[in-house]
Structure 1
């Protein structure tokens, strides 16, 4: 079952995710996930479960997709677009990686940790690139 906001007349699919980052050798790296179903590179995100808060869903999705725990930081806002013929609303946070290990699975078969510029180039969708512009110095 897909979580939709009953208060929204458009019945948008509600989702959440994070721009997951870590410090590595004096630089910041961004975690990108590859989804074989769509053959794209994006930030970890997913649909909310019924009654789940956006932040709880974002943290759950990061762990499920990347195998990494994280500490949420700066809210990055909500991105709205159409997916599979329905409106979708995804709320994001910047989040610092705090441990874990990636194991490939059916939903995400690869992750990459890349410097900001390389992450920007690798991301498939412009809406995901725009999230990198929202990260304030110090939060990533």
Structure 2
């Protein structure tokens, strides 16, 4: 999820802190049975960040093992259009950071690739 900074209008990306893992990552979660992946992604973003988002292009998926099982996480570029964060059990903090700082803050190196993928969508839209 991204936005234009309320101070200065520069691009900011939203990262979430998950206390269970003590990590910084992109908002993400599990789909409900039969749920459309994009609808599930928007629901999870809203639940974790308190923000509503308007989706755009799909970004590259992440593939990795979680507890010995293969996992695929799908991501979309989405602009935050409103909302307010309230800490919860899954996410206790969010940060809005410029891309270069978001890349450094992400705990998993594979998550940093999404910064470049998102920035590429802005360059190709010009």
Q: Verify same fold: TM over 0.5.
A: yes
Matches within 5 A, 1:104-115: 104-115=87-98
What residue in structure 1 maps to residue 113 of structure 2? 130
What residue in structure 2 maps to residue 30 of structure 1? 13
Helix, strand or coil for the counterpart of 2:29? strand
Where is the strand percentage greater, Structure 1 or Structure 2?
1
Cα deviation for residue 96 of structure 1 reads: 0.2
Q: Give the number of aligned pairs.
A: 120
Q: Write the distance in 1 (CA, Å) between the matches of 2:17 and 2:90.
A: 8
Question: Which of these residues, 57, 69, 76, is aligned with residue 74 of structure 1?
Answer: 57
Matches within 5 A, 1:1-140: 20-24=1-5, 25-135=8-118, 136-137=121-122
Per the normalisation by structure 2, the TM-score is: 0.92
Cα deviation for residue 26 of structure 1 reads: 2.7
Q: Write the distance in 2 (CA, Å) between the matches of 1:73 and 1:128.
A: 19
Q: Write the distance in 1 (CA, Å) between the matches of 2:96 and 2:64.
A: 26
Structure 1 segments unaligned to the other structure (5+ residues): 1-19
Structure 2 segments unaligned to the other structure (5+ residues): none
Cα deviation for residue 83 of structure 1 reads: 1.1
Q: Write the distance in 1 (CA, Å) between the matches of 2:22 and 2:68.
A: 19
Over residues 89-115 of structure 1, what are the superposed CA-to-partner deviations in whole Å (9 max), with x where a residue is unaligned?
111001000100000011000000000
Where is the helix percentage greater, Structure 1 or Structure 2?
2
